[in-house]
Amino acid sequence: MVASAPTAIDPCGDEDGSKRRQILDGARKVFMNLGFDGASMNEIARSAGVSKGTLYVYFADKSRLFEAIVEAEAIEQGRVTFNLDPARDAEITLREFGQAYIQLLCRPGGGSSIRTVMAIAERMPDVGSRYYVNVLERTIDRLADYLRAHVRPNDLAIDDCRLAAAQFMQMCQATLFLPFVFQAAPSPPAPRIAHVVDSATRMFLAAYRTPPV
């Protein structure tokens, strides 16, 4: 391995950017199939269709490469649009948000990234922390901001909107996420997601909707 190779290079042109994406795509497949420990730079180079020397020009080692994949996933998920317009009805918005959130969380291939991060978080805590903050916590914050806009008479009565947002997201995951992430079940079908999210929405509003006067 070339000890002086940079962590990663920023794309300074279309060719560099395309090559970097090619490497990340190939590496993602290897990490998903073999896990972090089973992946090797040789296998990653083969999957990406580049030489091992080219791989080291862009990434110093597989830890830096995996971190780049985590960062790319954070950017990708950050682009997902949840319609959290404060003017929208809370019940409709929660149902739509919940379904979109579970479809994102349980999309084919999505669980592999989470499983891999979970497997290495103990010995690479910075990677685990960044994944949580940039991918998972960001969504909690977005929903919490929406809920704060609805804390008013004749709408929602919530003391801790961030806690409430996390609670709703956890309820939406019930019976769906854990079987998926542990490979006990495939990605859940849309009707099943809708059923679970509808139940979560009714439970959430039963707890937090302002009682009638």
Sorted by where each starts, the structural domains of the chain and their CATH numbers stand as 14-70 (1.10.10.60), 80-208 (1.10.357.10)
User: How far is Cα of residue 39 from the mean position of the Cα atoms in its chain?
Assistant: 21
Report CA-CA distances (Å) from 153 to 157, 169, 211: 8, 24, 9
State the pLDDT at residue 14.
Answer: 63
State the pLDDT at residue 15.
Answer: 66
Question: Which residues of the chain register pLDDT less than 70?
Answer: 1-15, 78, 213
> Letter for the amino acid at 54?
T
CB 32 within 8 A of CB 109: yes
Phi and psi angles of residue 156, each rounded to the nearest 5 degrees, phi first: -120, 145
Rounded Cα distance between 194 and 108, Å, is: 18
pTM: 0.78
Read off the pLDDT of residues 150-171 as tens digits, 9 standing for 90 and up: 999 999 999 999 999 999 999 9
